Amino acid sequence: MIYFDHAATGMPKSEGVINAVASAMRFCGNPGRGSYELASAGDRALFDCRNELAREFGSQPENCVLTKNTTEALNMAIKGYVFSQKEPVHALVSDFDHNAVSRIIYDLKQKERIKLTVFESDLFDDKKTVQNFENSITEKTSLAVFTHASNVCGRIFPVKEMKKIAKCHGITVITDIAQTAGLLDIKADDYGDIICLPGHKGLYGPAGTGAMIVSKDFDIEMHPLLHGGTGILSADMKMPAFLPERFEAGSLNAPAYAGLRTALREKHTKDIKLAQKIYKYLLSELKNMRGVTVIGAPEKNREDDWVPIILINLWGYNSEEAAEILAKENIAVRGGLHCAYKAHKKLGTLKTGGVRISIGRGNTMVHAKALIDTLARKMTC
Amino acid sequence: MDTVIVLTSMTYAYKAQEILNRQGIKNSLTRNAQTARIRGCGYGLKIDACQSGYVQKLLLDSGIKIAGVTEAGKR
């Protein structure tokens, strides 16, 4: 199998990560539930994972809330903020959000907890995106939710610049870094008051891992999404007021976070330059291939403004059909709408969807050439 | 005689332990009756009572929240 679906989850996981999970399943008890050896090993796995997250994203371990994915982190952050406010919140969101943002916002709008403005992102001009964001701010705006890179076409948006403007207006910023964590150098405070990330995509940790990282300067006591046992302050019926326990009710998946800890430790040993080289090669070939339309891609020499994701359509095929054809050739890509209705609407691919080719750590130039050869063969049949 | 510095959470307990280890201060993590009495289930760091003042200052200076201080073994 040639795997080009790294935007869904990074594959393959390393032997180190697999071994860390297996070892923790043998030797970790329930974290925070005792001082005996097994529980302490569970505690240690969680703390080490937080420590590695803090190191990677320039934070502190207590500010790293462990979640099961980016979606859970975004739910905690957005709902946590909105439900901590007495009045409905005026929020700004982009037109490239994943449903992990859009559906939360939709629900809060239905409940009349949010008043919404969608600002327009420009695919080719960062200045316009920043200007559109700034023009959308009103004196009532108190929340902005940014998508760092589109999961559909890979465009990286100018979040750092928009965050600076937001802070001048006292706006809370929550950023979805699902497609950039592990690929770009991200320091949490530069990108938001809260950043939400997956452990299993660009960081190559186990499925079912993610994090919500809260800036140390963010002083709003957010409403917790979950309530339950934390292993501390058991006589108090309120959730703890401090991080990370405020958001971590119930038993945590220590083996998975032990795997994420190892993935984070291994990260600096992995080269992502090859993925960028493959991306440029595929882009160049696909743009010139008969029967293939490339959507939302950079012009030559602008590739660094995109993460290695390419959206294409094959003439005469629905995207799901095209993905199925490639699957029969043992090539894994993803068709459809990629849980991002708004992005496809913006790109003009709402009816057809698109075939997403996402490149990652395990890919080689041999894989890339095999994909090009297969597509060329299919499109000349 | 030992003293238990009670921390607000497991995360702070481990962070505090790292700070003490870096300074070469002998300590051990505990989760016992003393910590429970102060916080209703919690974590503490057992240290030599002679170092209690210095350790408390070190931890506070490092941004660690201390929930309480109690004598080890006291019921």
Over chain A (381 residues), the average pLDDT of each successive run of 10 is 97 97 94 81 94 97 97 98 97 96 96 97 97 98 98 97 98 98 96 98 97 93 92 84 92 96 90 91 96 94 95 94 95 95 93 96 96 91 66
Amino acid B39: pLDDT: 58
Total count of domains within chain B = 1
More confident residue, A226 or B73: A226
Cβ distance of A35 and B9 shorter than 8 Å: no
**Which residue in A has a C-alpha nearest to residue B42's C-alpha?**
A232
> Taking Cα atoms as reference points, which of A244, A204, A265 lies closest to residue A65?
A244
Q: Residue A379: what pLDDT?
A: 82
CATH number for position B6 = 3.30.70.120
Cβ(A182)–Cβ(A203) below 8 Å: yes
- Domains for chain A: give ranges and CATH numbers: 2-10+271-380 (3.90.1150.10), 15-268 (3.40.640.10)
CB-CB: which of B30, B32, B41 is closest to A233? B41
Q: Is the ipTM of this complex over 0.85?
A: no
Judged by a CB distance cut-off of 8 A, whether residue A255 touches chain B is: no
A236 touches B: beta carbon within 8 Å: yes
Residue whose structure tokens are 């505690």: A43
pLDDT at A283: 97
Contact A205, A260 (CB under 8 A): yes
Query: Domain range for residue B66?
Result: 2-71
- Distance of alpha carbon B50 from alpha carbon A78, whole angstroms: 47
For residue range B52-65, list pLDDT tens digits in order: 999 999 999 999 98
Instruction: List the single best residue of B10, B31, B66 to mutate versus A (max A Cβ within 10 A).
Output: B10
Question: Where does B1-75 show beta strands of DSSP type E?
Answer: 2-7, 28-30, 43-48, 66-71
Q: Is the pLDDT of residue B74 over 60?
A: no
**Given phi > 0 = left and psi -120 to 50 = alpha, else beta, which region is A301?**
left
* pLDDT of B36 above 80: no
On the question of pLDDT at B18 being above 60, the answer is yes
Largest CA distance in chain A: 71
Q: Does B9 touch chain A (CB under 8 A)?
A: yes
Q: Does A336 touch chain B (CB under 8 A)?
A: no
Query: Does residue B31 carry a pLDDT above 60?
Result: yes
Q: Which residues of B touch A245 (CB under 8 A)?
A: 9-11
The Cα A346–Cα A141 span in angstroms is 24
Query: How far apart are the C-alpha atoms of B31 and A30, rounded to whole Å?
Result: 14
Contact A44/B at CB under 8 A? yes
